[in-house]
Amino acid sequence: MSQAVVFKLLGRRVRLGLIGGAQGSLIGPVHRTAARIDDCFDLAAGVFSSDPERSLISAHAFGIRRGYTDVQAMIEAETVRADGIDAVAIMTPNDSHYEYAATALDAGLDVICDKPLTNDYDSALALARKAHDRGRILSLTHNYSGYPMVREARATITGGEIGALRLVNVRYVQGSLSRPIEAEPDKMAPRTKWRLDAAKGGKSHVLGDIGVHAHQLMSFVCGRRITAVLADVGPSLPGRTAHDTAQVILKFDDGTRGQMLVSKVATGAQNVVSIEAYGEEGGISWNQAEANDLRVMRLNRADEVRTRGLPSLHPHAQRGTRLPTGHPEAFFEAFANIYTDFAELVAARIAGAEPVPLAQLTPNAWIGVDGLAYIDACLESTATGTWAEVVYEHDRF
């Protein structure tokens, strides 16, 4: 259906230029696969590495027609071609997001970018404002909100099925830093090295790497903003300087209470991502290990398990589903849902058409700004040992 929408608007696929994701990258193959699943994109060009030779070798290996050695060269060349790219996808270390996204936006291109949007609030806000002023799309690959049953959870809450919201709990824990890997830097994977480097990965590793995912998941499902936090953020292992754990008590703008635990020292945990939300009439529970199911709970009644693919689900969940029930979908498909929404938004902008309303729920630059404001508040709270306000300088949500 989404391919039909894009072709109806443009008569072709959206032409995409890739930035980052060379051979050996963890997330690069996820981006490329996600962009191809619904056949909405032509992967037309790319700069895959800061190493020019590696970039060109990767372009050839991936079957990308036009490989470039640096981002500026690609954007300058592509924007004067009749068949040039419409948008770029950024999957590089965090410290380069602002430069690459700003360059693309200034050239009139739309952007889809890995999280976090940038490493600091001011540059994130500047980037969001630039996208707004240029009239361009700037989306973030917060892929957990691409799961159909996460979308069902949002629709369940915003539709009032569990009543006025009271309590929210989100967890994102893994064990990738449960050992002191910094003691042997030569054995660390490159993607781990730069993430633990504050200059590249940001001032709080755990919050910038997985905390912003938990923040966006919570905000998306609940449809509310976090306004205040009481946080404890820092390293758990002796001698470690990088933050590996954050425990946060929080308040939402409507008075809802919440908790967040994000950690990389949960030994044996295999990327546990889960959310629970409780209202006056019931609750919902979702976890990534059982991504195709959403549990809906009500007082003194048996739990209801809603399964991906059922015709009774809300339109937003149905939109993100490709296969009938009994045929599981998971991480790649959820990532693809973000890409497909982005494709529809780009196609609509180019065609001067109104985008499909549900596509506009895809994570945008403003939620990226909010994620950086959330990090700043958590760090302030940790430093002072008291509650900290989450300060927003914009009204978009």
* CB neighbour list of residue 200: distance below 8 Å, 6 or more residues apart: 93, 94, 95, 194
Q: Are residues 100 and 238 in the same domain?
A: no
Q: Containing domain of residue 110, as a range?
A: 2-143
Strand 110-113 and strand 87-91: the pairing is: parallel
Residues 169 and 228 placed together within one structural domain of the fold? yes
Three-state DSSP string of the chain: CHHHHHHHHHCCCEEEEEEECCCCCCCHHHHHHHHHHCCCEEEEEEECCCCHHHHHHHHHHHCCCEECCCHHHHHHHHCCCCCCCCEEEEECCHHHHHHHHHHHHHCCCEEEECCCCCCCHHHHHHHHHHHHHHCCCEEECCHHHHCHHHHHHHHHHHCCCCCCEEEEEEEEECCCCCCCHHHCHHHCCHHHHHHHCHHHHCCCHHHHHHHHHHHHHHHHHHCCCEEEEEEEEECCCCCCCCCCEEEEEEEECCCCEEEEEEECCCCCCCCEEEEEEEECCEEEEEEHHHCCEEEEEECCCCCEEEECCCCCCCHHHHHCCCCCCCCCCCHHHHHHHHHHHHHHHHHHHHHCCCCCHHHHHCCEHHHHHHHHHHHHHHHHHHHHCCCEECCCCCCCC
Q: Are 212 and 114 within one domain?
A: no
Q: Give me Rg for the CA atoms of the chain.
A: 21
Distance CA 127, CA 368 (A): 10
The verdict on residue 339 lying in a domain is no
Note whether 173 and 129 are same-domain residues: no
Instruction: Show the tokens assigned to 96.
Output: 């380069």
Which of the listed residues 128, 143, 158 is the one where a domain comes to its end? 143
Task: Supply the pLDDT for residue 1.
Answer: 54
Q: Are residues 129 and 163 in the same domain?
A: no
Residue 336 lies in a domain: no
CATH number, domain with residue 136 = 3.40.50.720
pLDDT value of residue 206: 97
My answer on whether 160 and 298 are in the same domain is: yes
CA-closest candidate to residue 194, choices 123, 95, 264, 111 = 95
Kindly state whether residues 245 and 377 are assigned to the same domain.
yes
Say whether both 104 and 171 belong to one domain: no
Residue that is written with structure tokens 């790497």 in the block:
209
Q: Are residues 31 and 127 in the same domain?
A: yes
The residue among 143, 177, 205 that closes a domain is: 143
Whether 246 and 128 map to the same domain: the answer is no
| Tens place of pLDDT per residue across the chain (397 aa) | 578 889 999 999 999 999 999 999 989 999 999 999 999 999 999 999 999 999 999 999 999 999 999 999 999 999 999 999 999 999 999 999 999 999 999 999 999 999 999 999 999 999 999 999 999 999 999 999 999 999 999 999 999 999 999 999 999 999 999 999 888 887 778 778 878 888 888 899 999 999 999 999 999 999 999 999 999 999 999 999 999 999 999 999 999 999 999 999 999 999 999 999 999 999 999 999 999 999 999 998 999 999 999 999 999 999 999 999 999 999 999 999 999 999 999 999 999 999 999 999 999 999 999 999 999 999 999 999 999 999 987 766 5
Number of domains in the chain: 2
* 9 and 34 assigned to the same domain: yes
- Cβ(218)–Cβ(226) below 8 Å: yes
Report how far apart, in Å, the C-alpha atoms of 162 and of each of 168, 176, 259, 279, 280 are: 12, 36, 19, 5, 6
**66-67 and 41-47: which strand pairing?**
parallel
Pair of tokens at residue 240: 């470690």
Q: Say whether both 10 and 118 belong to one domain.
A: yes
Of 143, 170, 202, the position where a domain reaches its end is 143
The maximal CA–CA distance of the chain, rounded, in angstroms, is 65
Q: What are phi and psi of 379, to 5 degrees?
A: -70, -35
